[in-house]
Structure 1
Amino acid sequence: MQFTNALVAATLASAVSGASIPSQVYARQNGTANSTLPAYFKLQVVAIDTPLHLQHFQAAQSSIFVGLPKQNATCDITPDQPTEQEATFTLDSEDNGLYLYAASTTPQQLFADLSGMGQGKLGYTTGAQPAPRNAQRTGWELDEAGHLMFDNAGFTACPNSIEGSWSVWVYNSIDNPGGNKDCVRIAARPVAIPKPNGCSYTS
């Protein structure tokens, strides 16, 4: 009887452990295991049944987009990365700020304005430029699915932005922020970049 109970307990423990393996393997494959962001990463859109699915966040004109034909960023071109049309991010472990990766000393840091005026505006500042009033710079974390969140909120993308792209906002209980229409909820999955290409993005 004791042997039977021990066997059942071991079987149940194995089943529970096995059930958790796929999500952990999935997270490790994307560099997001155990709620830890990779050192350098791109943000891939998860929005099934939308044209944005599996596209990546881009940075231009102090804002974040998806589907922009060109970022027009100034990048450190390397032989294995002749072009750079997706933004690369890094999280500073000291101030918990999210930055656009660059080899230069001029930082470009992301912010989000979740106030009633900002409605979830997502953008970035360059150098010593201050963040807009009511904007926040910290609050970045991963949820249980390995998606990037800001202050426990996901993202929204709105069509008909510059050059036919979609503007990206932090979701703030407003379905169509900034007077936009037909916005869609999206998730942002960090994808590790072992050899990042430093860029200075337009402001």
Structure 2
Amino acid sequence: MKFTTAAIAATAASLVTALPTDSKIKDGDVFTIQTIRSGSDFQYSTFQAVQNSLVINAGQQNASCGPEPHNYASFQLSNGSLYLYTANPPQQFFVDRSGMGQGVIQYTTGAQPMVKNGERTTFAINDDGNLVFRDQTGEDIDFQACQPSLGGGYSVWLGGVTRPAGADECYGFIARAIKEENPTKCLYTQYP
């Protein structure tokens, strides 16, 4: 069977038009994060929110989500701020890139204050559909997964600092944002 360039182009165009046109994540959409790091034991894992931190493969996150188990975190962006998908009180993320924070990523609940050098408003979904943190120059900063972590697995940090907080091993990865069609509001755990 012989295929012409025109036939292949027409077939490709029909496949593209069959794909959902509203898959790009916008402010207010709810999404999960899938990790992409080929050859790692956390390839295609999801972010969890545990005791004010982001983790990967750390057992149960123990969020209060109703009767069904929910072992991944759901997120929303609003004007560059990253939130967990929850009812009141809101749970909002910050990053501390100072020498003291070394790229730590944590969340606060309600009126709980963030650290002195915390930054809240430069999270974004880039053109490739990945969650990133943008610095003052507009450069995208990816994430890294480091061991040890709460309850095993990996803790999530901003990329750029080798061995933050004395971590044994850290691996850069892509944080792919995936739109969630039927999200569940949860209240995620805080420090005891």
Q: TM-score range by the shorter chain?
A: 0.7 to 0.9
CA shift digits 1:101-140 (9 cap, x unpaired): 11x2200001111111111000100010011110101101
Q: 1:176 to 1:51 in 2, by over 3 A?
A: same
CA shift digits 1:143-193 (9 cap, x unpaired): 23221100110001002212212000011x212111102110011011111
**Matched letter for residue 139 of structure 1:** T
Query: Helix, strand or coil for the counterpart of 1:163?
Result: coil
Percent of aligned pairs with the same amino acid = 35
Unaligned runs of 5+ in 2: 135-139
1:178 corresponds, among 142, 145, 165, to 165
Unaligned runs of 5+ in 1: 1-10
State the match for 1:200 in structure 2: 187
Query: Helix, strand or coil for the counterpart of 1:162?
Result: coil
State the match for 1:169 in structure 2: 157
Greater per-residue strand proportion: 2
2:100 corresponds, among 73, 92, 117, to 117
For 2:167 and 2:22, how far apart are their aligned partners in 1? 32
**Counterparts of 1:150-161 in structure 2 under 5 Å?**
150-151=133-134, 152-161=140-149
For 2:110 and 2:38, how far apart are their aligned partners in 1? 36
Rg bigger for which structure? 1
CA shift digits 1:16-49 (9 cap, x unpaired): xx79x98x999x699337xx46700100001111
Q: 1:76 to 1:141 in 2, by over 3 A?
A: same
**Counterparts of 1:8-157 in structure 2 under 5 Å?**
31-32=23-24, 36=26, 39-77=29-67, 82-92=68-78, 95-102=79-86, 104-151=87-134, 152-157=140-145
For 2:91 and 2:21, how far apart are their aligned partners in 1? 28
Greater per-residue helix proportion: 1
For 2:107 and 2:60, how far apart are their aligned partners in 1? 18
Query: Helix, strand or coil for the counterpart of 1:178?
Result: helix
Query: Matched residue pairs, number?
Result: 177
Query: Helix, strand or coil for the counterpart of 1:59?
Result: strand
Query: Helix, strand or coil for the counterpart of 1:199?
Result: coil
For 2:145 and 2:166, how far apart are their aligned partners in 1? 13
* Residues 50 and 189 in structure 2, CA contact (< 8 A), matched pair in contact too: yes
**Matched letter for residue 38 of structure 2:** I
**Matched letter for residue 24 of structure 2:** T
What TM-score, normalized by structure 1, do the two folds share?
0.78
What TM-score, normalized by structure 2, do the two folds share?
0.82
Q: 1:184 to 1:128 in 2, by over 3 A?
A: same
Q: 1:116 to 1:101 in 2, by over 3 A?
A: same
Query: Helix, strand or coil for the counterpart of 1:150?
Result: strand
